[in-house]
Amino acid sequence: MKRIIGHQLSDVWNDMSQAQRFGLVRSLVAIEAKLVKTEMPGYGSLYYRDDYPDGMSMDDVLSPAGFTANRFVLDPSTDRPFWVDGRGALDLDRGPWASASEYFSAIAKREMECICTAAQNEPSLMDFGGKDTAREIHINLLNQFLAILPYILPSQYFCSPTLLHQDLHLENIFVDSADPTKTSGIIDWQSTYSAPLFMQAKFPSVFDCDDPYPWGAVYPELPDDFADMSEDAKVEAQEHLNRVRLKKFYEMASRKFNPAIPRAMDAFLNENDDPVSFIFPLLDQTAVDGPIPLQELLIQNFERWDEMCERRGVDA
């Protein structure tokens, strides 16, 4: 295992100026852009060919730097929902998958298997009263999802297989000892997997925040009544502004240097309350959440079926 040179970001974050944090944004966006530009052959996780000689070939994959990826293959996904809470013992299709349809079908069937396994997620199975009835209803809902899947899948562009690190927090990022704007390494890649672009496109947690956020070309400012605020309120407003500006800088840097990510975010902002935008993320944990959220989204899909089909250019 190669030792990473530099400091863990958590050790220096509080001492970094906003300008330095903006510089780090540029560094991480550049890394993400290289990953997004790598055209993956399918959906799954990376393994060394020597360890998994029968995996999905990466021979035709070129990195943006021009290096071939023939040392690697795609094989079973290490995405946590396939393995946690006893799921590692279940007989599941963990990939690799050649199409987005196969990928989402495997997730739906994984959730079915979890629902059918007696020890799994008992609290969520009480929503319809009897456990067996709840299981039957939940399985039926997932079969309905599978029936409409070919009609609600986003376009091939948004479903393109994309490899991204989904856990970029302060402890997983290392920076140069002399210049914290430069990334020296990223750890914790073991759960990284290739998935549809629109499912991967999200803010890294290191730059994300829960504050109200103005999407698009809107520059965050202090509130108009800032001068009249108490000192404590001013401090809180300034901290809020710093968080939102950092998030905004990531969005704008991505729009310039890695446009696929914000383009996917743009398409799934739910401005039209499109139930399709909600159903795919929800699918990933429906065995835990119970049948009601999935039922509600399926009802919305059927109520707006003609509208959604027209928008996607498919026959109703």
SS (H, E, C) 207-253: CCCCCCCCCCCCCCCCCCCHHHCCHHHHHHHHHHHHHHHHHHHHHHH
Residues in the chain: 316
pLDDT score, position 59:
84
Reported as a pLDDT band with limits 50, 70 and 90, residue 96 is very high
pLDDT score, position 182:
97
Q: State mean pLDDT over 205-214.
A: 95
Task: Retrieve residue 64's tokens.
Answer: 């943006």
Q: State mean pLDDT over 260-270.
A: 89
pLDDT score, position 126:
40
Q: State mean pLDDT over 255-261.
A: 98
Res. 67: pLDDT tops 80 = no
Q: State mean pLDDT over 224-240.
A: 94
Q: State mean pLDDT over 175-204.
A: 95
pLDDT score, position 128:
45
Alpha-carbon gap, residue 270 to 158, rounded angstroms: 15
pLDDT score, position 316:
61
Share of the chain above pLDDT 90, in %: 74
Res. 64: pLDDT tops 80 = no
Reported as a pLDDT band with limits 50, 70 and 90, residue 118 is low
Reported as a pLDDT band with limits 50, 70 and 90, residue 66 is low
DSSP 8-class letter at 15: G
Interior angle at CA 174, CA 168 and CA 179, nearest 5 = 125
Q: How many CB atoms lie within 10 A of CB 40?
A: 22
pLDDT score, position 85:
84
Alpha-carbon gap, residue 57 to 41, rounded angstroms: 8
pLDDT score, position 37:
93
pLDDT score, position 124:
47
Q: State mean pLDDT over 20-37.
A: 97
Interior angle at CA 66, CA 62 and CA 71, nearest 5 = 55
Res. 122: pLDDT tops 90 = no
Q: State mean pLDDT over 15-42.
A: 96
- Selected residue with higher pLDDT from 215 and 124: 215
DSSP 8-class letter at 81: G
Instruction: Give the domains, in start order, of the chain with CATH numbers.
Output: 7-38+160-267 (1.10.510)
pLDDT score, position 63:
66
Contact 115, 143 (CB under 8 A): no
Res. 261: pLDDT tops 80 = yes
pTM: 0.90
Mean residue pLDDT of the chain comes to 90
Task: Retrieve residue 1's tokens.
Answer: 């295992």
SS3 89: helix
SS3 136: helix
Reported as a pLDDT band with limits 50, 70 and 90, residue 123 is very low
Task: Retrieve residue 104's tokens.
Answer: 């989402």
Alpha-carbon gap, residue 275 to 272, rounded angstroms: 9
Share of the chain above pLDDT 70, in %: 90
pLDDT score, position 83:
93
Peptide bond into 96 cis (omega under 30): yes
**Alpha helices for the chain (secondary structure H):** 9-12, 18-37, 100-116, 131-152, 156-159, 197-200, 231-257, 260-267, 275-283, 286-289, 291-303, 305-312
Reported as a pLDDT band with limits 50, 70 and 90, residue 127 is very low
Reported as a pLDDT band with limits 50, 70 and 90, residue 103 is very high
